[in-house]
Structure 1
Amino acid sequence: MKNKQIYISIFFSVTILFFSCRQNENKQADFIPDSLIKATEGIAIGKAKFGISEKEFNQLYPDSLVDLDGNLYNVSTYFDSSKALNKVYLIDTATIDNTKFGEALFDRMDLLKQHFMKTYGVPQYDRGYPKQDKMQNGKAFDAYMWKVGKKKIFVGIALEETDRGNIYYVVAHVDRK
Protein backbone atom coordinates (compact mmCIF):
# COMPACT_ATOMS: atom_id res chain seq x y z
CA MET A 1 0.00 0.00 0.00
CA LYS A 2 2.83 2.38 0.90
CA ASN A 3 4.60 1.59 -2.42
CA LYS A 4 1.40 2.44 -4.29
CA GLN A 5 1.25 5.86 -2.58
CA ILE A 6 4.89 6.51 -3.47
CA TYR A 7 4.26 5.62 -7.13
CA ILE A 8 1.17 7.84 -7.24
CA SER A 9 3.14 10.73 -5.69
CA ILE A 10 5.96 10.28 -8.20
CA PHE A 11 3.47 10.10 -11.08
CA PHE A 12 1.77 13.36 -10.04
CA SER A 13 5.10 15.11 -9.46
CA VAL A 14 6.37 14.14 -12.91
CA THR A 15 3.04 15.12 -14.52
CA ILE A 16 3.07 18.55 -12.85
CA LEU A 17 6.70 19.09 -13.80
CA PHE A 18 6.00 18.11 -17.43
CA PHE A 19 3.05 20.48 -17.79
CA SER A 20 4.83 23.38 -16.11
CA CYS A 21 7.76 22.97 -18.53
CA ARG A 22 5.36 22.89 -21.49
CA GLN A 23 3.78 26.16 -20.34
CA ASN A 24 7.21 27.82 -20.25
CA GLU A 25 7.88 26.67 -23.83
CA ASN A 26 4.63 28.28 -25.00
CA LYS A 27 5.38 31.54 -23.17
CA GLN A 28 8.86 31.72 -24.68
CA ALA A 29 7.47 31.19 -28.19
CA ASP A 30 5.40 34.39 -27.76
CA PHE A 31 8.20 36.31 -26.05
CA ILE A 32 10.25 38.91 -27.89
CA PRO A 33 13.42 39.85 -25.98
CA ASP A 34 13.73 43.44 -24.73
CA SER A 35 16.97 43.84 -26.68
CA LEU A 36 15.18 43.02 -29.96
CA ILE A 37 12.32 45.36 -29.09
CA LYS A 38 14.74 48.18 -28.32
CA ALA A 39 16.71 47.59 -31.53
CA THR A 40 13.71 47.34 -33.89
CA GLU A 41 10.62 49.09 -32.53
CA GLY A 42 11.62 52.38 -34.17
CA ILE A 43 12.01 50.80 -37.62
CA ALA A 44 8.95 51.05 -39.86
CA ILE A 45 10.32 48.99 -42.76
CA GLY A 46 13.78 48.43 -44.16
CA LYS A 47 15.84 51.58 -43.61
CA ALA A 48 12.82 53.79 -42.84
CA LYS A 49 12.31 54.74 -39.21
CA PHE A 50 9.14 56.00 -37.60
CA GLY A 51 9.16 59.76 -37.19
CA ILE A 52 11.01 60.63 -40.42
CA SER A 53 9.54 63.18 -42.82
CA GLU A 54 7.87 62.37 -46.12
CA LYS A 55 10.87 63.85 -47.94
CA GLU A 56 13.26 61.53 -46.06
CA PHE A 57 11.04 58.53 -46.78
CA ASN A 58 10.88 59.38 -50.49
CA GLN A 59 14.67 59.61 -50.60
CA LEU A 60 14.89 56.08 -49.19
CA TYR A 61 12.15 54.66 -51.45
CA PRO A 62 11.79 57.00 -54.46
CA ASP A 63 9.90 54.45 -56.55
CA SER A 64 7.60 53.43 -53.66
CA LEU A 65 8.86 49.84 -53.84
CA VAL A 66 10.60 47.77 -51.20
CA ASP A 67 12.33 44.43 -51.72
CA LEU A 68 11.84 41.95 -48.88
CA ASP A 69 13.63 38.65 -49.41
CA GLY A 70 13.46 38.99 -53.20
CA ASN A 71 9.75 39.89 -53.28
CA LEU A 72 8.63 43.39 -54.32
CA TYR A 73 6.01 45.32 -52.38
CA ASN A 74 4.36 48.66 -53.15
CA VAL A 75 4.81 50.98 -50.19
CA SER A 76 2.21 53.46 -49.04
CA THR A 77 2.65 55.64 -45.98
CA TYR A 78 0.74 57.61 -43.39
CA PHE A 79 2.21 60.70 -41.75
CA ASP A 80 0.68 62.05 -38.54
CA SER A 81 -0.31 65.66 -37.83
CA SER A 82 3.31 66.59 -37.11
CA LYS A 83 4.22 65.19 -40.56
CA ALA A 84 6.17 62.27 -39.09
CA LEU A 85 5.98 58.73 -40.47
CA ASN A 86 3.52 56.77 -38.36
CA LYS A 87 2.36 53.86 -40.53
CA VAL A 88 3.58 51.89 -43.54
CA TYR A 89 1.39 49.77 -45.81
CA LEU A 90 2.81 47.06 -48.07
CA ILE A 91 1.02 45.47 -51.04
CA ASP A 92 2.55 42.42 -52.70
CA THR A 93 3.12 43.40 -56.35
CA ALA A 94 2.59 39.78 -57.41
CA THR A 95 -1.04 40.03 -56.24
CA ILE A 96 -1.95 43.41 -57.77
CA ASP A 97 -4.37 41.89 -60.33
CA ASN A 98 -5.05 38.61 -58.53
CA THR A 99 -8.64 37.39 -58.95
CA LYS A 100 -8.12 33.91 -57.50
CA PHE A 101 -8.70 33.14 -53.84
CA GLY A 102 -6.78 30.03 -52.84
CA GLU A 103 -3.44 28.34 -52.23
CA ALA A 104 -1.32 30.60 -54.48
CA LEU A 105 -2.61 33.65 -52.61
CA PHE A 106 -1.99 31.99 -49.24
CA ASP A 107 1.53 31.04 -50.35
CA ARG A 108 2.26 34.71 -51.10
CA MET A 109 0.90 35.69 -47.69
CA ASP A 110 3.13 33.05 -46.08
CA LEU A 111 6.20 34.57 -47.80
CA LEU A 112 5.50 37.88 -46.11
CA LYS A 113 4.78 36.16 -42.80
CA GLN A 114 8.12 34.30 -43.08
CA HIS A 115 9.94 37.59 -43.65
CA PHE A 116 8.72 38.95 -40.30
CA MET A 117 9.20 35.60 -38.54
CA LYS A 118 12.93 35.74 -39.34
CA THR A 119 13.23 38.71 -37.02
CA TYR A 120 10.33 38.40 -34.56
CA GLY A 121 9.59 34.67 -34.38
CA VAL A 122 6.09 33.24 -34.41
CA PRO A 123 3.29 35.81 -34.49
CA GLN A 124 1.59 36.54 -31.17
CA TYR A 125 -1.73 36.49 -33.00
CA ASP A 126 -2.52 33.84 -35.63
CA ARG A 127 -5.99 33.67 -37.17
CA GLY A 128 -4.88 31.42 -40.02
CA TYR A 129 -6.18 31.74 -43.56
CA PRO A 130 -9.38 33.71 -44.14
CA LYS A 131 -12.54 32.19 -45.55
CA GLN A 132 -13.57 33.74 -48.86
CA ASP A 133 -17.16 34.36 -47.76
CA LYS A 134 -15.93 36.29 -44.68
CA MET A 135 -13.89 38.78 -46.72
CA GLN A 136 -15.27 42.35 -46.85
CA ASN A 137 -14.81 44.85 -49.65
CA GLY A 138 -12.15 47.45 -48.89
CA LYS A 139 -11.02 45.71 -45.71
CA ALA A 140 -8.06 43.55 -44.84
CA PHE A 141 -8.28 40.28 -42.97
CA ASP A 142 -5.35 40.47 -40.56
CA ALA A 143 -4.20 36.86 -40.32
CA TYR A 144 -1.02 37.44 -38.30
CA MET A 145 0.14 40.06 -35.83
CA TRP A 146 3.33 40.81 -33.91
CA LYS A 147 3.65 43.35 -31.07
CA VAL A 148 7.15 44.76 -30.81
CA GLY A 149 7.18 47.40 -28.10
CA LYS A 150 5.21 50.34 -29.51
CA LYS A 151 5.13 48.79 -32.98
CA LYS A 152 2.52 46.40 -34.38
CA ILE A 153 2.93 44.39 -37.57
CA PHE A 154 -0.06 42.87 -39.37
CA VAL A 155 -0.03 40.51 -42.38
CA GLY A 156 -3.16 39.48 -44.23
CA ILE A 157 -5.32 39.62 -47.33
CA ALA A 158 -7.52 42.47 -48.58
CA LEU A 159 -10.48 42.36 -50.95
CA GLU A 160 -11.40 44.96 -53.54
CA GLU A 161 -14.62 44.47 -55.50
CA THR A 162 -14.31 45.85 -59.05
CA ASP A 163 -16.29 45.83 -62.30
CA ARG A 164 -13.97 43.03 -63.47
CA GLY A 165 -14.60 40.96 -60.34
CA ASN A 166 -12.95 40.57 -56.98
CA ILE A 167 -9.26 41.37 -56.56
CA TYR A 168 -7.37 39.85 -53.61
CA TYR A 169 -4.15 41.46 -52.35
CA VAL A 170 -1.55 40.26 -49.89
CA VAL A 171 -1.01 43.20 -47.57
CA ALA A 172 0.83 44.21 -44.43
CA HIS A 173 0.84 47.30 -42.29
CA VAL A 174 3.36 48.35 -39.70
CA ASP A 175 2.10 50.93 -37.19
CA ARG A 176 3.41 52.69 -34.17
CA LYS A 177 1.01 53.26 -31.27
Structure 2
Amino acid sequence: DNSPQQLENAKTYCSEYNCIQFIEGNAASIPCGAETFDALAAIQTYEYIEEVDPALKEARRVLKLGCPIAIVSILWDHCLFYGADEALNLTIFEAFKAHCSHQMLPMELSHLLPDNGFGSITRQNLSYLETALNAGMAGYYLSKLMALFATTKGVSNTDAKLWLSQLEQADKDGRFGFVNFPVLTMATTI
Protein backbone atom coordinates (compact mmCIF):
# COMPACT_ATOMS: atom_id res chain seq x y z
CA ASP A 1 0.00 0.00 0.00
CA ASN A 2 1.13 3.58 -0.48
CA SER A 3 -0.62 4.76 2.68
CA PRO A 4 1.45 4.50 5.89
CA GLN A 5 -1.79 4.62 7.91
CA GLN A 6 -3.31 1.71 5.97
CA LEU A 7 -0.12 -0.28 6.48
CA GLU A 8 -0.24 0.37 10.23
CA ASN A 9 -3.90 -0.73 10.29
CA ALA A 10 -3.01 -3.89 8.37
CA LYS A 11 -0.09 -4.67 10.70
CA THR A 12 -2.39 -4.38 13.70
CA TYR A 13 -5.10 -6.48 12.06
CA CYS A 14 -2.63 -9.20 11.02
CA SER A 15 -0.41 -9.10 14.12
CA GLU A 16 -1.02 -12.78 14.95
CA TYR A 17 0.42 -13.91 11.60
CA ASN A 18 4.20 -14.05 11.24
CA CYS A 19 4.20 -14.90 7.52
CA ILE A 20 3.01 -11.51 6.24
CA GLN A 21 5.33 -8.78 5.03
CA PHE A 22 4.08 -5.21 4.57
CA ILE A 23 5.68 -3.00 1.92
CA GLU A 24 5.05 0.67 1.26
CA GLY A 25 4.85 1.41 -2.44
CA ASN A 26 2.43 1.87 -5.28
CA ALA A 27 1.05 -0.57 -7.83
CA ALA A 28 3.10 0.80 -10.73
CA SER A 29 6.39 0.67 -8.82
CA ILE A 30 6.61 -2.14 -6.27
CA PRO A 31 9.91 -1.87 -4.36
CA CYS A 32 11.18 -5.44 -4.78
CA GLY A 33 12.94 -7.65 -7.26
CA ALA A 34 11.55 -9.54 -10.23
CA GLU A 35 9.74 -12.80 -9.53
CA THR A 36 9.62 -12.17 -5.77
CA PHE A 37 6.05 -13.21 -4.94
CA ASP A 38 4.06 -16.43 -5.12
CA ALA A 39 0.74 -14.55 -5.30
CA LEU A 40 -0.59 -11.01 -5.46
CA ALA A 41 -3.94 -9.61 -4.29
CA ALA A 42 -5.23 -6.23 -5.43
CA ILE A 43 -8.41 -5.33 -3.58
CA GLN A 44 -10.09 -2.28 -5.10
CA THR A 45 -6.73 -1.03 -6.33
CA TYR A 46 -6.55 -0.95 -10.11
CA GLU A 47 -9.89 0.83 -10.59
CA TYR A 48 -8.32 3.87 -8.89
CA ILE A 49 -5.22 3.94 -11.09
CA GLU A 50 -5.55 6.03 -14.22
CA GLU A 51 -3.13 3.91 -16.28
CA VAL A 52 -3.75 0.25 -15.44
CA ASP A 53 -1.29 -1.23 -17.98
CA PRO A 54 1.90 -0.14 -16.16
CA ALA A 55 0.52 -1.45 -12.86
CA LEU A 56 -0.33 -4.84 -14.38
CA LYS A 57 3.10 -4.98 -16.03
CA GLU A 58 4.60 -4.35 -12.59
CA ALA A 59 2.45 -7.08 -11.05
CA ARG A 60 3.69 -9.48 -13.71
CA ARG A 61 7.30 -8.44 -13.02
CA VAL A 62 7.14 -9.19 -9.29
CA LEU A 63 5.17 -12.46 -9.61
CA LYS A 64 6.87 -15.78 -10.23
CA LEU A 65 5.93 -17.68 -13.39
CA GLY A 66 2.68 -19.63 -13.00
CA CYS A 67 1.59 -17.71 -9.92
CA PRO A 68 -1.83 -16.11 -9.42
CA ILE A 69 -3.07 -12.57 -9.21
CA ALA A 70 -6.42 -11.94 -7.52
CA ILE A 71 -8.13 -8.66 -8.38
CA VAL A 72 -11.32 -7.53 -6.65
CA SER A 73 -12.93 -4.54 -8.32
CA ILE A 74 -16.46 -3.19 -8.43
CA LEU A 75 -18.80 -2.77 -11.37
CA TRP A 76 -19.67 0.73 -10.15
CA ASP A 77 -22.45 1.22 -12.70
CA HIS A 78 -24.32 -1.57 -10.89
CA CYS A 79 -23.68 -0.33 -7.34
CA LEU A 80 -27.01 1.24 -6.38
CA PHE A 81 -29.03 2.59 -3.48
CA TYR A 82 -32.82 2.32 -3.42
CA GLY A 83 -35.23 4.44 -1.41
CA ALA A 84 -34.18 8.00 -2.25
CA ASP A 85 -35.79 10.22 -4.88
CA GLU A 86 -34.70 8.85 -8.28
CA ALA A 87 -33.45 12.16 -9.68
CA LEU A 88 -31.50 12.99 -6.52
CA ASN A 89 -30.11 9.45 -6.40
CA LEU A 90 -28.90 9.83 -9.99
CA THR A 91 -27.32 13.22 -9.17
CA ILE A 92 -25.33 11.69 -6.30
CA PHE A 93 -24.22 8.71 -8.41
CA GLU A 94 -23.21 10.89 -11.36
CA ALA A 95 -21.06 13.04 -9.06
CA PHE A 96 -19.55 9.93 -7.45
CA LYS A 97 -18.36 8.58 -10.81
CA ALA A 98 -15.37 10.93 -10.55
CA HIS A 99 -14.05 8.99 -7.53
CA CYS A 100 -12.27 6.38 -9.67
CA SER A 101 -10.76 6.08 -13.12
CA HIS A 102 -12.32 2.77 -14.12
CA GLN A 103 -16.03 2.41 -13.28
CA MET A 104 -16.29 -0.99 -14.96
CA LEU A 105 -12.77 -2.42 -14.56
CA PRO A 106 -13.85 -6.08 -14.44
CA MET A 107 -15.06 -5.65 -18.03
CA GLU A 108 -11.68 -4.21 -19.09
CA LEU A 109 -9.55 -6.92 -17.49
CA SER A 110 -10.38 -9.50 -20.18
CA HIS A 111 -8.00 -7.70 -22.57
CA LEU A 112 -5.72 -5.92 -20.07
CA LEU A 113 -4.54 -9.11 -18.35
CA PRO A 114 -3.49 -11.05 -21.50
CA ASP A 115 -1.80 -7.92 -22.85
CA ASN A 116 0.34 -7.82 -19.70
CA GLY A 117 1.48 -11.42 -19.32
CA PHE A 118 -1.46 -13.16 -17.64
CA GLY A 119 -3.62 -16.08 -18.74
CA SER A 120 -6.17 -18.57 -17.38
CA ILE A 121 -8.57 -15.76 -16.48
CA THR A 122 -11.59 -16.58 -14.34
CA ARG A 123 -14.20 -14.36 -12.73
CA GLN A 124 -16.43 -14.79 -9.73
CA ASN A 125 -19.43 -12.62 -8.94
CA LEU A 126 -19.28 -11.36 -5.34
CA SER A 127 -22.43 -9.21 -5.52
CA TYR A 128 -24.60 -8.71 -2.47
CA LEU A 129 -27.77 -6.99 -1.33
CA GLU A 130 -28.38 -5.10 1.90
CA THR A 131 -31.95 -4.30 2.96
CA ALA A 132 -31.11 -2.29 6.07
CA LEU A 133 -29.05 0.84 6.60
CA ASN A 134 -27.06 -0.11 9.69
CA ALA A 135 -23.69 1.02 11.01
CA GLY A 136 -21.21 -1.75 10.37
CA MET A 137 -22.61 -2.53 6.92
CA ALA A 138 -21.00 -1.45 3.65
CA GLY A 139 -24.00 0.52 2.38
CA TYR A 140 -24.12 2.66 5.51
CA TYR A 141 -20.51 3.78 5.18
CA LEU A 142 -20.60 4.09 1.40
CA SER A 143 -23.68 6.33 1.57
CA LYS A 144 -21.81 8.72 3.89
CA LEU A 145 -18.72 8.66 1.67
CA MET A 146 -20.74 9.22 -1.50
CA ALA A 147 -22.65 12.15 -0.02
CA LEU A 148 -19.44 13.80 1.17
CA PHE A 149 -17.67 13.19 -2.14
CA ALA A 150 -20.64 14.52 -4.12
CA THR A 151 -20.34 17.85 -2.30
CA THR A 152 -16.81 18.19 -3.73
CA LYS A 153 -18.23 17.73 -7.24
CA GLY A 154 -20.90 20.42 -7.23
CA VAL A 155 -23.74 18.80 -5.27
CA SER A 156 -24.97 21.13 -2.54
CA ASN A 157 -24.65 20.18 1.13
CA THR A 158 -28.42 20.51 1.32
CA ASP A 159 -28.97 17.95 -1.44
CA ALA A 160 -26.38 15.55 -0.02
CA LYS A 161 -28.04 15.71 3.42
CA LEU A 162 -31.47 15.32 1.82
CA TRP A 163 -30.30 12.19 -0.01
CA LEU A 164 -28.96 10.68 3.21
CA SER A 165 -32.17 11.52 5.07
CA GLN A 166 -34.25 9.94 2.28
CA LEU A 167 -32.21 6.74 2.58
CA GLU A 168 -32.70 6.78 6.36
CA GLN A 169 -36.45 7.27 5.92
CA ALA A 170 -36.58 4.45 3.37
CA ASP A 171 -34.86 2.23 5.92
CA LYS A 172 -37.45 3.14 8.58
CA ASP A 173 -40.24 2.46 6.06
CA GLY A 174 -38.78 -0.93 5.11
CA ARG A 175 -38.06 0.03 1.50
CA PHE A 176 -34.30 0.63 1.63
CA GLY A 177 -31.95 -1.33 -0.56
CA PHE A 178 -28.28 -1.31 -1.45
CA VAL A 179 -26.78 -3.49 -4.18
CA ASN A 180 -23.05 -3.81 -4.70
CA PHE A 181 -21.36 -5.76 -7.50
CA PRO A 182 -17.73 -6.62 -6.74
CA VAL A 183 -16.05 -9.13 -9.03
CA LEU A 184 -13.08 -11.35 -8.21
CA THR A 185 -10.89 -11.76 -11.29
CA MET A 186 -8.19 -14.41 -11.08
CA ALA A 187 -5.36 -14.91 -13.56
CA THR A 188 -2.01 -16.68 -13.71
CA THR A 189 1.32 -15.37 -14.92
CA ILE A 190 2.43 -16.86 -18.25
Higher relative contact order (Cα pairs below 8 Å, separated by 6+ residues):
2
Q: TM-score by structure 2 length? A: 0.23
Q: TM-score by structure 1 length? A: 0.24
User: Larger C-alpha radius of gyration, 1 or 2?
Assistant: 1
Q: In proportion to residue count, which structure has more strand?
A: 1
